[in-house]
Structure 1
């Protein structure tokens, strides 16, 4: 039922449609969701402001088409420091779950050569650790998302449900002012839930641009994590610390 839909749900559906089709215009969206063109424009402005898509002459272009290679260089020094600090929390013999993403890939870089078991759906992590002789590497199944060097979907979540990790490192597209951890891709959310559910300890690893960052899909409150590893400072970081979550700086 599209009539009377809440704005957040409408925006989520618009974002998914844009990703599937590659672009939609204001008129067709207005007709589909039974709202005015000005309402659709406000929705698109919101999504544009969140970095989820870009508007071009009344239409839309999905902005979440940047490749892993394009993103990995952003805040590279911060990610390197975060990865090294995260790796210091891992003990020899641990089973480590590493989420997809560029900051989590930095964690894998810092773990190269360690005597551990790594579970991951990240093809980037696989590439980093495949020649690490002491590391046992378990690759989770799923649908390949080539642009972001990852595997996603229900198969990945199902594989995670059969496993248990000592420690996990997860990424995010942003943390809101109300301390909700966000993501921008629907297929990644259930995977992150499975990682949290199947890990004894879980840390959020995030560069400064993720506070507040972007995202339209809620993952969970930041209080579901045992800690946040970041180089970021400021009021939002202070709020996270005040919530009782450990903030770990490199």
Structure 2
């Protein structure tokens, strides 16, 4: 096999899995590890991947994090289908609680809260406002520093408040999902999402298929820490298999 052929296969594996290791590539292509390291260095210099210890991850998106109005107008049909599919995971009953992370897809879920008699907790100003319009249930807005791009409360105060809560179900958004886990570009937002994952009884990620293969700066949850992924029908079979192999129930709406 020529070097260019091998490097194209490495890029294909990164597109599919989000992460590769030197050891597994050396075994797969029957070459020494030093050859793979040179391949990865060459691909990184071409801007096609990011080198990490022991391997490489898919090139992080260079685009700035879109603001909330932009995200609200992107992939809207898919997000509505995802919210409908996710609504079956909403608990019911006066002693049941649900935690809604900030995000344009989780915002679509708010319309399904009506009549469920839930205790609702969120770190998102927009979600709190929308929930007030559709439900008379108990509603708690978490404290913290508000991020301009997401309208979400994040940071030390938010994490501390979450540490005292034990919601039955958390619905969480993400900016990227791959073999590197579920990722987001902001450190404080990642810490807040990690606290949600830690404290919730059941962890459900809502993300459209455009997030597959993207690796953002910070991993807030490993694949094995998420119970359910609700996405759209555009998610590839290879990514579906990756997530299911890590114990995630995948719902493609």
Q: State TM-score, norm by structure 2.
A: 0.72
Partner of 2:174: 172
| CA distance in structure 2 between the partners assigned to 1:146 and 1:217 by the alignment | 19
Shift in CA distance, 198/73, structure 1 to aligned 2, threshold 3 Å: same
Q: Is the 8 A contact 2:91 2:97 kept in 1?
A: no
Query: What pairs up with 1:110-149 in 2 under 5 angstroms?
Result: 110-149=112-151
Partner of 2:252: 249
- Match status 1:80 vs 2:80: yes
- Match status 1:193 vs 2:194: yes
| CA distance in structure 2 between the partners assigned to 1:221 and 1:207 by the alignment | 18
Unaligned runs of 5+ in 2: 1-43, 51-58
Query: What pairs up with 1:51-90 in 2 under 5 angstroms?
Result: 51-53=61-63, 63-64=64-65, 66-90=66-90
Partner of 1:220: 221
Deviation at 1:113, TM superposition (A): 4.5
SS at match of 1:87: helix
| CA distance in structure 2 between the partners assigned to 1:237 and 1:116 by the alignment | 31
Q: Is the 8 A contact 2:113 2:134 kept in 1?
A: no
SS at match of 1:163: coil
SS at match of 1:236: helix
| More displaced stretch, 209-218 vs 108-117 | 108-117
Shift in CA distance, 173/114, structure 1 to aligned 2, threshold 3 Å: same
Deviation at 1:180, TM superposition (A): 1.3
| CA distance in structure 1 between the partners assigned to 2:60 and 2:176 by the alignment | 10
Q: Is the 8 A contact 1:52 1:184 kept in 2?
A: no
| CA distance in structure 2 between the partners assigned to 1:84 and 1:50 by the alignment | 30
Partner of 2:184: 183
Runs of 4+ in 1 over 4 A off after TM superposition: 41-47
Deviation at 1:144, TM superposition (A): 1.4
| CA distance in structure 1 between the partners assigned to 2:215 and 2:108 by the alignment | 21
Higher relative contact order (CA 8 A, sep 6+): 2
Deviation at 1:222, TM superposition (A): 1.4
Which of 239, 244, 248 does residue 242 from structure 2 map onto? 239
**RMSD over equivalenced CA pairs, Å:** 2.3
- Match status 1:102 vs 2:112: no
Q: State TM-score, norm by structure 1.
A: 0.73
Output one character per residue of 1:183-227: Cα deviation in whole Å (capped at 9) or x when no partner.
111111111111111111111111010111341211221110111
| CA distance in structure 1 between the partners assigned to 2:153 and 2:247 by the alignment | 33
Deviation at 1:72, TM superposition (A): 1.3
Partner of 1:208: 209
SS at match of 2:182: strand
Shift in CA distance, 42/121, structure 1 to aligned 2, threshold 3 Å: farther
| CA distance in structure 1 between the partners assigned to 2:49 and 2:150 by the alignment | 24
Unaligned runs of 5+ in 1: 1-40, 54-62
